[in-house]
Homo-oligomer: A and B are copies of this chain.
Amino acid sequence: MEGRKGAVPGLGPFALTDLAQGMSRFGRLARSVDPARPWAHPRADVLDGQTFRTWVRRTLRTRSGRAYFDIATEAVFAADASDISLLHALCYAVGNGDLETLVAVDHGAQQDRVVGGSVVVAERLAEGLDVRLGDPVASITQDRAGVTVRTRSGREHAADRVVVAIPPTLAGRLVDDPPLPAARDQLTQRLPAGTVVKAFAAYPTPFWREDGLNGQAASDRGPVKVTFDVSPSEAEVGVLLGFVEGGEALRWQRLSEAERRRQVLGCFVRHFGEQAAHPTSYVEKNWSEEEFTRGCYGAHFAPGVWTAFGESLRPPVGRVHWAGSEYAVEWSGYMEGAVRSGRATAREVLDAPRSSGPPHGA
C-alpha cells in the first residue's frame, strides 16, 4: 500500500470506498464519546470490552482499508491495534480532533517542530527556577502536616503539596507512604507506555527534495512504516527520520545493530531511492531503554481499563497531584496535552486548602 506522491495511497475504488466508510463510522462513534469521562458512555462496556483490532477487522473489508487503520494506530499510539481498547482509540481521537488530524502533517498534529529541538521548551521553562537534576525521587511521604519527598541519594524536600509529573507507569514505581489507594495503584499497573524507536540517517543534502518528494512516507511494510524529513531548517544537511513502532519495534530491537540499520536503510531506499543507502551518519534512539522514559509516546489503555479504573486517573491523592500528557483531556499524548494538564493541575493546587485535608488512610 504505497503511492510515491500524495497523501492518498494508490488504492482501487473498492478499497477507497471501504476506507472512507470505515473512517466515517469511526468518526461518528468517536464523537459519541466524552473524552473527559469515556467510562460514562452508555455502551462503554461494549466499546471497552473489545480491542481496536477486533473493530477494524469487523468493520473494514479490504486488506488496504485495514492496513490504513493498523498503520495509523502504530503511528499514533506506538502500539498495535491489539493492545488498545476500541473505547481508548475513540476517546483519544475525539480528544485530539480526529484520526485524520492525528496522523496529518499539513494542519495536523505532526505539522510543527521546535527549532533547536523540543528540549528548548524545557530549558526555557526552567530559567529562573530552582531545578535539581541528577537525583531521582525514591519516595513520597505525606501526613496531616505536609509532604516529604526523599531522593535516591537520601536528600529530603518538604512541601505543602507535590505534583508528580512523570508517566503513570513510572509514578507507580515510587514508594508512597501511606501506600496509594488500591484503585489508583491498580490503575498504574495497567498504563504501559508504547514502544518506539527513532532511527535517523543524515546525508550531505536533502536529496529527496530534488525528486519533488517531501520525505514523508507511510507504508504497511516495516520495520519503518512512517518517515519524516527532519533536516535542520537551514538544510545544510538532509536528515530522514524513521519510526519503528509497536510490535514491529519489539521484533526489530532483538536484531543485531548491523541488521537493524540494514533494514531501516532498506525502507528509506524503497521510498527515496538508492542514495538513501549511504548516510554520513546513522543513529537510533530506543525510548524504552531509557530508565526515566521507558516508552513513548504516552500510556495506552488496554480493554477494560478505562471503564474499571478510569475514574482514578486524575483526582489527587491527599497532597499528591498528578500532571503530564496522560492526564490531559484534550491532546493527551502530545506536548500540547502536557501543557494543558500542567495548567489544570496548577489550578487544582492553587485551589486546594493550604494546610488541611488529611491524606487518604490518615
Q: Which residues of A are in contact with B by a Cβ distance under 8 Å?
A: 45, 48-51, 53-54, 57, 79-83, 85, 138, 152, 169, 172-173, 175, 179, 181-183, 185-186, 189-193, 195, 246-247, 250, 253-254, 286, 288-289, 291, 294-295, 302-305, 307-309
Sorted nearest first, the 7 A-B pairs with minimum C-beta distance are: A182-B288, A82-B304, A189-B192, A302-B302, A49-B82, A83-B304, A179-B291
B residues within 8 A CB of A80? Answer: 49, 304, 308
Supply 23 A–B pairs (Cβ within 8 Å), ascending by A. Answer: A49-B57, A50-B50, A50-B51, A51-B54, A79-B304, A80-B304, A80-B308, A83-B302, A83-B303, A83-B308, A138-B175, A173-B175, A179-B291, A181-B289, A182-B294, A185-B294, A186-B294, A189-B294, A189-B295, A195-B308, A246-B308, A247-B304, A302-B304
Contacts of A294 in B (CB 8 A): 182, 185-186, 189
* A192 CA / B82 CA spacing, docked (Å): 17
- Tally of this chain's copies: 2
CA distance A192 to B188 in the complex (A): 9
Closest to A189 in B: B192
The one of B183, B286, B295 that contacts A250, using a Cβ cutoff of 8 Å? B183
Bound together, the chains give a CA A172 to CA B169 distance in angstroms of: 10
Which of B85, B172, B173, B183 makes the CB contact (< 8 A) with A253? B183
Our pick among B195, B308, B309 for the contact of A186 (Cβ within 8 Å) is: B195
Among B45, B83, B169, B172, the residue within 8 A (CB) of A82 is: B45
* Residue among A50, A79, A82, A181 facing the most chain B CB atoms (10 A cut-off): A82
Inter-chain contact B302/A303, CB cutoff 8 Å:
yes
Contact flag A308-B250 (CB < 8 Å), given A53-B49, A82-B49, A83-B302: yes
Per the bound structure, the CA–CA distance linking A74 and B45 in Å amounts to 16
Complex contacts, A179 vs chain B, CB 8 Å: 289, 291
Q: Which residues of the partner chain B approach A191 to less than 8 Å between Cβ atoms? A: 189
Given A152-B175, A193-B189, A250-B183: A49 and B49 within 8 A (CB)?
Answer: no
Contact A48 B173 (CB under 8 A): no
A135 to B138, CA, bound (A): 15
Max chain B C-beta neighbours (<10 A), residue from A48, A179, A181, A308 = A308
A54 contacts across to B, CB distance below 8 A: 49-51, 54
For A254, the chain B residues whose CB sits under 8 A away are: 183
A185 and B247 in contact, given A53-B50, A81-B49, A304-B82 (Cβ under 8 angstroms): no
Q: When chains A and B are docked, how far (Å) is the Cα of A172 from the Cα of B85? A: 24
CB distance from A163 to the nearest CB of B (A): 21
- A70 CB to nearest B CB, Å: 11
